[in-house]
Chains A and B, each alone.
Chain A
């Protein structure tokens, strides 16, 4: 059974696109046939995060308007077997597509793929409505900040209004040291307020910026803690229930850094 999952947040800049890219890659590495769809028409970026920007010829709007076949617009990621990108148009706007057209597009994608992962634009207007139209369920990305959680709360309400099942939460940009010092809301604080099930916590880390610079999602890096966080989130998305919680305290001691550098680092029970 194929499934369409929309990744949304309300607020911009919380890491939706990075999350979509990494989960997409991780699910493909788990053996799923995945399409990541950039629904942010006019401001496409999923292609850049995935490092596939140079291979775009056709986009989502071309497909919807019948200017090309669906297959022509899908970009195959050669690094991850089974992963495809359907890019957004860059020179059009959110009104170039209707919710009905998105629903139909998702139906067609489901014929050949297990998981359709839709990267929703920020905001609650047309772009959100389009992104949610074909979705079977939603994943909410937030950060431990007042503004992001407020918007997440609003979006949870809108997901329910769209008659999707209860969404699941990813807490991004988590900083354990600040939580320890009492200067950042912890997991429990956030869950108490948003009251939806948690998929996982992703630490804030420089790896994300380096991977964005290079166009290589961090889940490809077996030794990255952030990558591991996304891998575990992805396993939970597939319904795996016994994925252990990740220890977010990174061991930065000289000895372990050296060991990791030599490829002998302590295993973090790396997910396959």
Chain B
């Protein structure tokens, strides 16, 4: 009923088919490279540790780290906003 009212007022809930499609595409990419989302998170955490030795990075929620389907291959795509260089001494 709530759905119906929402629909009537043009506040249609997002069709669940879109969720299905997004989840499926995500799954298939991870299946293809045999890397689970959990492993990707782990990898991200480790890489972020290294990056943080050289530059100061923004909060986690602003960075992007994911697998994407390219032409005939899967690419690791990442965008990590950087604030400024950390003091050299810390890096070495």
Task: Count A-B contacts at CB 8 Å.
Answer: 36
Residue of chain A at shortest CB distance from B19: A146
Q: B2 an interface residue at 8 Å Cβ cutoff?
A: no
B73 contacts chain A at the CB level, 8 A cutoff: no
Cβ A182 vs Cβ B31 within 8 A? no
Residues of B close to A245: CB separation below 8 A: none
Contact of A150 among B15, B18, B27 (CB under 8 A): B27
A193 closest partner in B (C-beta): B24
Neighbour of B21 across the interface among A153, A179, A181, A189, CB < 8 A:
A189
Contacts of B20 in A (CB 8 A): 144-146, 184-185
A150 vs B22: C-alpha distance in the bound complex, in angstroms? Answer: 12
User: What's the tally of chain B residues with a CB closer than 8 Å to chain A?
Assistant: 12
Q: Are A193 and B17 in contact (CB under 8 A)?
A: no
With A146-B23, A149-B24, A193-B24 as given contacts, are A154 and B31 in contact (CB-CB < 8 Å)?
Answer: yes
**Proximity bits, B1-45, A CB within 8 Å = 1, else 0:** 000000000000001111011011101100100000000000000
Say whether A182 contacts B27, CB under 8 Å. Answer: no
B24 near A183: Cβ-Cβ < 8 Å: no
* Inter-subunit contact B31/A146 (CB<8 Å): no
In the complex formed, the residue of A with least CB distance to B15 is: A182
**Is B17 in contact with A146, judged by CB distance below 8 angstroms?**
no
B5 to chain A, nearest CB (A): 16
Answer whether A182 and B24 are a contact pair too, CB < 8 Å, given A150-B31, A153-B31.
no
Give B53 Cβ to nearest chain A Cβ, in Å: 38
- Among A182-213, those with CB < 8 Å from B are 182-186, 189, 193
Q: How far, in angstroms, from A182 to B15 measured CA to CA in the complex?
A: 5
Q: Are A193 and B31 in contact (CB under 8 A)?
A: no
Centre residue among A145, A146, A153 by max chain B CB count within 10 A = A146
Residues of B with C-beta under 8 A to A193: 21, 24-25, 28
Q: Can you sample 28 A-B contacts with CB below 8 Å?
A: A144-B20, A145-B20, A146-B20, A146-B23, A146-B24, A149-B24, A150-B24, A150-B28, A150-B31, A153-B28, A153-B31, A179-B17, A181-B15, A182-B15, A182-B17, A182-B18, A183-B15, A183-B16, A183-B17, A184-B17, A184-B20, A185-B20, A185-B21, A185-B24, A189-B17, A193-B21, A193-B25, A193-B28
Binding site for A on B (CB under 8 A): 15-18, 20-21, 23-25, 27-28, 31
